[in-house]
Structure 1
Amino acid sequence: MTRPPRRPGGSLADALWRRPGLLAALLLALPVLWLVVVYLGSLAALLVQSFYALDDFSGLVVEEFTLATYAQLFTAANLAIIQRTVLMAAAVTLASAVVAFPIAYVAARYARGWRKAAFYLAVMLPLWSSYLVKVYAWKLILAKEGILTWAFAKVGLTPLLEAVLAIPGIGGNSLSVSYIGTFLVFLYVWLPYMILPMQAALERVPTNLLDASADLGARPGETFRHVILPLALPGVVAGSIFTFSLTLGDYIIPQIVGSSRLFIGQAVYTQQGTAGNVPLAAAFTMVPIAIMGLYLWGAKRAGAFDAL
């Protein structure tokens, strides 16, 4: 009796089937190589360059280990940039959570069939358009002659708008040149990144727990604090990681909408491109990485990832 001919690649398939670890290693080899060489490699290069310094006389980078560049981060001007960016990122993250939660809750609890498909389409649709087009569109909307100012005038709320723009520190001549405008554009652009993780987390909240809470006499506010929010916390944390980190590193939105005061992303762009101070740009780049590292460590210590 003759043996059936072997299929091409049959021996390799058999070997991979017997060794699932080898198959996993082959599948992960290229992505891991990309991660290590391109992503982690670039971060390592930035870290190394942040310990160099720029010679003030020649304008050349002195490739000797020093902490002088990091000391420049603690000057008043650079500390103001860091503080401004962190406060904006925190405000955008908190506002995104407040706005996204009812949207995600309704979608998770009540949307079924075509309504759920419409929800995903509505949330994802802004992400399909060009980032720059959206930002420039918002600049026109928020301009002094824009549709938002016109709408306030039509309903007789121009004094209210002028009072808000007169607030020191966050106001300006118009919404398009104020921190309020920058905040609104950040909120619009990053909101989908908060809605989707929260909706996924809320979908995993068992309905019988909500019913049991109501049966035991808990008021809606108590059910929210003691049942819904703790179970949905991983989604809130996941969304906040996106909104907070993206706001920390963005330089296009503050460049187009807002005042002339710099954010961290703009400082990196300016130091690297205009001033040619690569070590200081690299040191500024380490700030968001350190902040996000501390944030993730604190969230892990608080148990926010336990239910993931």
Structure 2
Amino acid sequence: MTSDAAAPPHQRAGVPVPRETPARRLSVLLSRAPRVRLGLLLTAPLFWLGLVYIAALAALLVTAFWTVDSFTGTVSIEWNLDNIVTVLTGAVYQAVTLRTVGVAILVTIIDIVIALPIAFYMAKVASPRMQRVLVILVLMPLWASYLVKAYAWRSVLSEGGLIDWMVTPFGGNTPGYGLHATVITLAYLWLPYVIMPIYAGLERVPDSLLEASGDLGAKTWRTLRSVVLPLLWPAIIAGSIFSFSLSLGDYITVNIVGGASQMLGNLVYTNVGAANNLPLAAAIALIPIAIMIVYLGLVRRTGALENL
């Protein structure tokens, strides 16, 4: 008979030995295999993303190679490249593509120029309490509806609006609607998406590097150019991806404040709705997708994505 001295400690203390159940064995296995545990956690959301988003998007883009019956208006599954050729060779689509890319680039540049000083003040100048306040202020516009903000800018830019009221005493005129109004509104809408990545990137820049640069005699602009910007470049790229891609596919803002201006999103919306030409709309939708693939490829070659 085994004595108490020879028994395991948990048995001597009267602690019951846990039963070896399948659930317990699985728990032990998962605790020892973090990759398996991560895979199981991501399986459901990745399956849902692939089924609902990627598969649906692929099914939509496949229709770009179909046609529409000119008599009945129904989609006919006849594989051809007519829609692709029309989009690539049509002067209207080329002009709208250049306009859309130009607006997206301009919005991105404006947002980066505005975001840099705001993010720098938040990360390196403001006190911890003020940082929290500023983060809330930056994120607060995201709590409001997209349409509310777009229509608010429509009111501001319209005749008799706030800007008109401010410039009329000085002999100025309201800017009205058009591409400039689209750029202003989009820059406002996507600004938080640019500020936050740059702010996060600046927080990772050690203050000791800035102090060392100043101790070595570097001026403020030299420190920003030679020390801060190289370390901040991945964060700037991340912000530009948000603003550029969101501007490239937007169509609601152009409808609200763009006047008679047309962008790729408007053409897709028009062909899906009024024209009921889904294959042509899908072919037009391939343009911003191709542009983003090229843009992400160029960004990847710079190495910025690996440093995010």
The aligned amino acid for 1:113 is P
Query: Which of 208-217 and 143-152 deviates more?
Result: 208-217
Say which of 53, 62, 78 aligns to 2:67. Answer: 53
The answer to whether 1:20 aligns with 2:34 is yes
How far the C-alpha of 1:87 sits from its partner, in A, is: 0.6
> CA offsets per residue over residues 86-110 of structure 1, 9 Å max, x none?
1100000000000110000111101
How far the C-alpha of 1:139 sits from its partner, in A, is: 0.8
State the superposition RMSD in angstroms: 1.9
Structure 1 runs, 4 residues or longer, greater than 6 Å off: none
User: In the alignment, which residue of structure 2 is the partner of 1:202?
Assistant: 202
Query: Which of 74-83 and 204-213 deviates more?
Result: 204-213
User: In the alignment, which residue of structure 1 is the partner of 2:78?
Assistant: 64
- In 2, Cα distance between the equivalents of 1:176 and 1:63? 44
User: In the alignment, which residue of structure 1 is the partner of 2:147?
Assistant: 132
How far the C-alpha of 1:26 sits from its partner, in A, is: 1.6
Q: How does 1:148-227 map to 2 (within 5 A)?
A: 148-154=163-169, 156=170, 158-159=171-172, 162=173, 174-227=174-227
- In 2, Cα distance between the equivalents of 1:75 and 1:267? 13
- In 2, Cα distance between the equivalents of 1:79 and 1:55? 25
How far the C-alpha of 1:65 sits from its partner, in A, is: 2.2
The answer to whether 1:100 aligns with 2:120 is no
User: In the alignment, which residue of structure 1 is the partner of 2:3?
Assistant: none
Aligned length: 293
User: In the alignment, which residue of structure 2 is the partner of 1:110?
Assistant: 125
User: In the alignment, which residue of structure 2 is the partner of 1:245?
Assistant: 245
The aligned amino acid for 2:299 is A
- In 2, Cα distance between the equivalents of 1:181 and 1:62? 40
- In 2, Cα distance between the equivalents of 1:5 and 1:195? 52
How far the C-alpha of 1:11 sits from its partner, in A, is: 3.5
Question: Closer, same or farther in 2 for the Cα pair 1:20/1:218, shift >3 Å?
Answer: closer
Partner of 2:305, secondary structure, is coil
How far the C-alpha of 1:52 sits from its partner, in A, is: 1.6
How far the C-alpha of 1:7 sits from its partner, in A, is: 8.8
How far the C-alpha of 1:37 sits from its partner, in A, is: 0.9
- In 1, Cα distance between the equivalents of 2:236 and 2:224? 14
Conserved 8 A contact 1:231-1:307? no
Instruction: Calculate percent identity across the aligned residue pairs.
Output: 43
User: In the alignment, which residue of structure 1 is the partner of 2:267?
Assistant: 267
Partner of 1:247, secondary structure, is helix
- In 2, Cα distance between the equivalents of 1:175 and 1:272? 31
- In 1, Cα distance between the equivalents of 2:212 and 2:32? 48
Q: How does 1:74-85 map to 2 (within 5 A)?
A: 74-85=89-100
Query: Which of 249-258 and 18-27 deviates more?
Result: 18-27
Say which of 106, 114, 127 aligns to 1:91. Answer: 106
- In 2, Cα distance between the equivalents of 1:19 and 1:153? 69
- In 1, Cα distance between the equivalents of 2:41 and 2:127? 36
The aligned amino acid for 1:254 is V
- Give the TM-score normalised by structure 1: 0.89
Name stretches of at least 5 consecutive residues in structure 2 with no aligned partner.
1-10
Partner of 2:17, secondary structure, is coil
The aligned amino acid for 2:187 is L
User: In the alignment, which residue of structure 2 is the partner of 1:120?
Assistant: 135
The aligned amino acid for 2:19 is R
How far the C-alpha of 1:240 sits from its partner, in A, is: 0.5
How far the C-alpha of 1:243 sits from its partner, in A, is: 0.4
> CA offsets per residue over residues 147-201 of structure 1, 9 Å max, x none?
11101124x2x33xx4xxxxxxxxxxx5342221111111111100000000111
User: In the alignment, which residue of structure 2 is the partner of 1:171?
Assistant: none
Conserved 8 A contact 2:186-2:253? yes
Question: Closer, same or farther in 2 for the Cα pair 1:208/1:260, shift >3 Å?
Answer: same
- In 2, Cα distance between the equivalents of 1:4 and 1:294? 60
- In 1, Cα distance between the equivalents of 2:175 and 2:64? 36
Name stretches of at least 5 consecutive residues in structure 1 with no aligned partner.
163-173
- In 2, Cα distance between the equivalents of 1:120 and 1:251? 28
Say which of 43, 54, 57 aligns to 1:40. Answer: 54
- Give the TM-score normalised by structure 2: 0.89
> CA offsets per residue over residues 241-270 of structure 1, 9 Å max, x none?
000000111111101112222211111111
The aligned amino acid for 1:61 is V
The aligned amino acid for 1:182 is T
Partner of 2:70, secondary structure, is coil
